[in-house]
Structure 1
Amino acid sequence: FAFLLIYVEKNMDISALAEKVSNAFREKAKEFLVTKNDYTQRQNLWTLLSTYIDGVQEVFETSCYLSLSEEKLLNDGFTMLLPACRGAELSMVLNFLQVVLARLRSVHERVSQGPQLGNTAPAAELPLVAKEHHLAVASALWRNFFPYLKSQRMSQTPPSPQLADTAAGFTLLALDIPSKALSDLQPQPVLSMMRLFGWDDMVWPQLVSRYLMDLIENSSLCEAFSSMGYTSYEALTVRSWLRCVLQMFLDQPSGALAKTDAERTVGKAYMEQLTEMTRLIFKLSEVENILLKANVGQSVFKQDPKNALVQFIKAVGRTYSGLQTLPEKSAMVAKTLEYLGDVLKYVKPYLKAKGPPEGLQLTYWIIGCLVKFCAPILATSKAQQLLFRIVDCLLLPHSVLQQDKELPVALLSAIQESLPLYLQGLSFICCQSQTQGAYLNQLLGSIIRHYFGRFLPSSPTAPGAGQHPLLTALGSSITAPQLLHLHKTTLHVIRESYLQFRGHAPPPRLASVLAFILEVLQRTQSTELCDIDLVLPAVLKCLLLVNELQVKKISTDIVQYMVEGCQAGSGGEHATQLTSVFRQFIQEYTAVYDHRVFSILETVAVLDQTLVTSLIPTITQSLKDSEHKQGLGRNAAQREAYKRLLSHLAEAGQNEIQKLENETD
């Protein structure tokens, strides 16, 4: 190599000498490839091979124009050397390759700018000769190094950052000297490289994020995509970022195993890489435009990548809601779907392995934010298929639907925390959808039916139960139409599936079900018509047929809350509905449960005397119908119980007692 360097310094062609040295290198590389277990021989061979690599690097760094047949030094010996390298050996070769790539691009750019002013005539002819050699060097790099690089995209373990940096170097080489890229990358090698290393969903996220970080800010690359009319460059880069964030816990063990120091270091390094990638993504013009329209400050990219992704999702939803025309909205839906890609495919490894817990938490939270904050987009016909797949994969998969089957704690915890996001988003979509309203309502009902039971404690005071996610979803106010819809659907599902008696046997966990209903009513701070219609008949039945003290206490509280919420004397729609429910209750149960019915009405009379007074004709008629049916004349015990009730109803009650006593047989 001393001779080679002398030739280079004197600007003499090194073709013959380079051929001789590189042939010797090829033979040693072949030996190195087949020597796997003999440590001493490997060490001896590596000493020779690394000396060759250092020498070639020095030649490239010393050569002024790379026009002296330097390509001869990059022969097919490297195709045998690279697969045989391990750890530090591979690191050295990749480092060398990056130096050569950078040097070739730098010299080629300088030569391509042509002779400078004042150059002599012979020097003016140099660019043509140099460019031919540059093409030969580029060809050797693609032929002898790139196939190995490409083969490592799908390695079993996350590849080193150097691999990503080297792939980025090849991408920029394809930009500068496109004609020499391999035939399978043609006719647009830069686009092919981005598809291989930047946008492929199967490539390790560690590799993708590092690769894109190296390239995002390169203005020449952006210009190249613009000039070829490829408008998806930024959208696909955003999609890759989204995948990298979602898959940040991909290579962690699923169990609760303690991480080793090495794993923690790798995790920390990747988080730093993701944070930097996030900063760069938020500088893309498309992303800046969305954040601007949504009035989101640029400070969001200073947060951790997970929160930055949520802020971006919110901004997308807000931007869509601010659009006025149909073409604008349609374009935004298409763009959003391009950002998301096959988002469920990205999280499938977590779902399949049922872990690690951090991965499941992240999955359910991020996609829950998508359902809630991009609900107007998911309500469109273009995006509804994605919504249905989200529900099928995350909320109603086969394993979850088996009520008697225990689910992993990590999965249940992730669902419990994020379920309110899905329910609120789906309720909005149910109210908006023009085409699939009935099916969406059915889906919402299925989710509520399943998870109401999953997260319902065995008793209202069960320890460690925490707040039911449905309560969180319903929030403290139901002024928004979608929350009213969720409120109504929830109560409907509870009535149909959790308040049905089997004969006289009460439904299971009845006290917990009633406690939930009471909590919902108290949180909404107003009684809705649907509450009276859906809940009150079932609660009155519980009060009538169940003797358990806890059930009686909570049922009484619910009745009190509803009666006080819509006083019968107000004359409004609520009062009419309330009276109707009590009238039906009296007609249905007085014949068999007269004493209990009167006892319940006595309690109600204390709360709202006017309501019970308005029911006197119904009660009297039910009493007489019962006596007529029995065919035994007046029922003295029944009448005494009724008179006790009437005694609480002031003048109207006394008048009715008088009428009953004045009756003749």
Structure 2
Amino acid sequence: MALRRVHQRSVHSGPTLTWAPATTGAVKEHHLAVAAALWAHFYPFLRSLRLSQTPPAQLADAAAGFTLLALDLPSSAPQDLQPSPVQSIMHCFGWDDMTHPLLVTRYLPHLLQNSGLVTSLSSDSASAQSLSVRAWFRCVLQQHLHKSADGADSRTGRVAEEQLCELTRLVLRLPEVDGLLQRAAVQPAAGRTAPTSALELFVKAVGLVYSGLQVLAERSAMVTRALDYMGDILKYIKPSLVSKNQDGLQLAYWAVGCIVKHWSPLLATSKAQQLLFRIVDGLLLPHNVTQQDKALRDSLPLYLQGLSVASSVSQSQGMHVKQQLRTVTRRYLDHFLPASPSVGVIANHPVLLGACETSPTPPGSLLRRTIVEVICENFLQFKGHAPPPRLASLLMFLLELLRRNGDSDPALLTLPLPALLRCVMLVNEPQVRRTSTDVLQLVVERCAAAAAAQPPCDHVITVLRSFVEQNAGVYDRQVYSALETVAVLDPLVVGALIPNLSVTLRNTEHKRGLGKNAALRSAYKKLLCLLGESGQAEISSLEAD
């Protein structure tokens, strides 16, 4: 504004004549009078336009001018803006969630490039910078709202994008933000940083700084700061969810997914866990998510990984977070699983992608255990002889899950073993038999390797013993056939069952009251032949009956 320039020249030029102090005082009074008139007659008009859904560029420029005028002449501002007129105006035009992003992205850069104002904000209020970060956060999330329905570019869109990039550059230079990036040892690349990339960088930095804190009070303060930065994020993305704009949906799900992943320990705290629950309920568990399919497919791994970490660190609501993780896993495993097996579709299944990692970590192992438990409890249950639906696809998914990860814990690996044995025993469909045998081989071989120091593997023996108890006398020879598949892979684990198998055989014959069952004994001897010396010794014992 012209008044600011004149006033600054009069301040910086200084008195040069003996009568100058009186002149300077008069000039200052004149400036104050002009400023008071502007505040009285023009500022109310600007404020009346601040909630416009089509804010003209001149509105942001004029509002920035008044903000800087309040910085230079704070006493000239009206009483309703005192005692902090600069922050009061910034609340109206930059920090208020009701202000249109187009206005904010043009207004704030005028101010954040002013080092004097930034210094003033840094010293006057710890929350001022946080509020500027929150406003930037919202503008990044809502950057697609002003675009046309068909997503076509426009001059307004291009200008808004340039302004958002400039706002992003200035926010990253704020002392509070720059300090976080340095503490986290992450820095934006040289040159212009895209707003979405900067948002991801900032979210990662906050998460890294929080994870590095040891003092409880510092961690609590960091949680508060993080929530201040984010604001009411579900409110910010709601317009995109309502409009079903694909670019907006993609950005909304991705951005919140980044927060869930990188802030998972933070979100598991008592201060923030309600927000985590709202995110899950609002984005992952609505009744109908068909419109969000692409956004969900792309971002779901972030949510699964974050929920897995949160469920392992949450002290007060750990069980509830684990239940949410199971619910989300069950829903989207089912939602994105093809009716017939397709290697391409299953290889890119979002639940599978979320669970894969180059080397096992505790949260990753927990997530895979959750996925396998969900599969076994909800998708691999036989009804009598009838196999579950989409069995071939489920087995292919399970095979990919175990093959892509190096898990060696028998407690995890043997979870699907009962269902796999049942598939081998009851299902004749070629692809199901082939895939179930492949998964069975992977499980048995890894368990054998894990128990190499002290074979055989107790976990496998326990499952096999239970399998025999539940099915012998009902499926007879099919039980031995399934055990043959295991015996080829690891004779020791089946050999450990010989006493149980022989007692079960004789009990079955006794119950039927028909003496020796030649067919059953022949099937059992065929199995024993695969078990080496112990098997041969038992064959001799059977023949001596």
The CA distance in 1 between the partners of 2:144 and 2:225, in whole Å, is: 27
Counterpart residue type for residue 492 of structure 2:
T
1:542 matched to which residue of 2?
A: 423
1:344-383 deviation line (CA, Å, top 9, x unaligned)? 11111111222x1111111111111111112221122212
The residue matched to 2:464 in structure 1 has which SS?
Answer: helix
The CA distance in 1 between the partners of 2:419 and 2:233, in whole Å, is: 43
Q: 1:520 to 1:431 in 2, by over 3 A?
A: same
Counterpart residue type for residue 160 of structure 1:
P
* Normalised TM-score (structure 1): 0.78
Counterpart residue type for residue 373 of structure 1:
H
Counterpart residue type for residue 195 of structure 1:
H
- 2:370 matches 1:489: yes
1:384 CA displacement? 1.3
Counterpart residue type for residue 237 of structure 1:
S
Q: 1:465 to 1:583 in 2, by over 3 A?
A: closer
Moved over 6 A (4+): none
1:307 CA displacement? 0.5
1:623 CA displacement? 1.2
1:286-336 deviation line (CA, Å, top 9, x unaligned)? 111111111113436732111011011111111122223222222221111
- 2:285 matches 1:396: yes
Q: 1:198 to 1:659 in 2, by over 3 A?
A: same
Name whichever of 603-612 and 239-248 sits farther off. 603-612
Structure 2 residue corresponding to 1:559, chosen from 431, 436, 440: 440
Q: 1:224 to 1:557 in 2, by over 3 A?
A: closer
1:443 CA displacement? 0.9
Structure 2 residue corresponding to 1:266, chosen from 151, 156, 176: 156
2:127 matched to which residue of 1?
A: 232
| C-alpha contact 2:70 2:85 (8 A) present in aligned 1 | yes
The CA distance in 1 between the partners of 2:281 and 2:370, in whole Å, is: 20
The CA distance in 1 between the partners of 2:322 and 2:62, in whole Å, is: 52
1:173 matched to which residue of 2?
A: 69
Structure 1 residue corresponding to 2:49, chosen from 130, 152, 165: 152
Q: 1:622 to 1:105 in 2, by over 3 A?
A: same
1:194 CA displacement? 0.6
The CA distance in 2 between the partners of 1:574 and 1:151, in whole Å, is: 79
Counterpart residue type for residue 366 of structure 1:
A
Name whichever of 321-330 and 486-495 sits farther off. 321-330
1:196 CA displacement? 0.2
The CA distance in 1 between the partners of 2:35 and 2:95, in whole Å, is: 24
| C-alpha contact 2:411 2:459 (8 A) present in aligned 1 | no
Structure 2 residue corresponding to 1:219, chosen from 102, 108, 115: 115
- 2:35 matches 1:135: no
| C-alpha contact 2:145 2:248 (8 A) present in aligned 1 | yes
1:115 CA displacement? 6.0
What value does the CA root-mean-square deviation take over the aligned residues? 2.2
- 2:179 matches 1:293: no
| C-alpha contact 1:566 1:575 (8 A) present in aligned 2 | yes
1:205-263 deviation line (CA, Å, top 9, x unaligned)? 12112111000132332344456x42211111111111111111112345xx252xxx4
The residue matched to 1:567 in structure 2 has which SS?
Answer: helix
| C-alpha contact 1:115 1:124 (8 A) present in aligned 2 | no
1:7-40 deviation line (CA, Å, top 9, x unaligned)? xxxxxxxxxxxxxxxxxxxxxxxxxxxxxxxxxx
Q: 1:475 to 1:226 in 2, by over 3 A?
A: closer
Counterpart residue type for residue 288 of structure 2:
S
Q: 1:573 to 1:146 in 2, by over 3 A?
A: farther
The CA distance in 2 between the partners of 1:574 and 1:171, in whole Å, is: 77
The CA distance in 2 between the partners of 1:510 and 1:235, in whole Å, is: 51
Q: Aligned pairs, how many?
A: 544
Structure 2 residue corresponding to 1:621, chosen from 503, 507, 512: 503
The CA distance in 1 between the partners of 2:188 and 2:321, in whole Å, is: 36
| C-alpha contact 2:410 2:447 (8 A) present in aligned 1 | no
Structure 2 residue corresponding to 1:652, chosen from 519, 534, 545: 534
1:590 matched to which residue of 2?
A: 472
The CA distance in 2 between the partners of 1:491 and 1:164, in whole Å, is: 55
Q: 1:622 to 1:458 in 2, by over 3 A?
A: same
1:108 matched to which residue of 2?
A: 7
Query: Within 5 Å, which residues of 2 pair with 1:339-488?
Result: 339-354=229-244, 356-400=245-289, 407-408=290-291, 411-461=292-342, 467-477=348-358, 479-488=360-369
Give the unaligned 5+ runs of structure 2. Answer: none
| C-alpha contact 2:329 2:371 (8 A) present in aligned 1 | yes
- 2:90 matches 1:209: no
Counterpart residue type for residue 38 of structure 2:
L
| C-alpha contact 1:379 1:432 (8 A) present in aligned 2 | yes
1:610 matched to which residue of 2?
A: 492
Q: 1:165 to 1:466 in 2, by over 3 A?
A: farther
The CA distance in 2 between the partners of 1:156 and 1:305, in whole Å, is: 22
Counterpart residue type for residue 241 of structure 1:
W
Counterpart residue type for residue 154 of structure 1:
L
* Normalised TM-score (structure 2): 0.94
Counterpart residue type for residue 74 of structure 2:
P
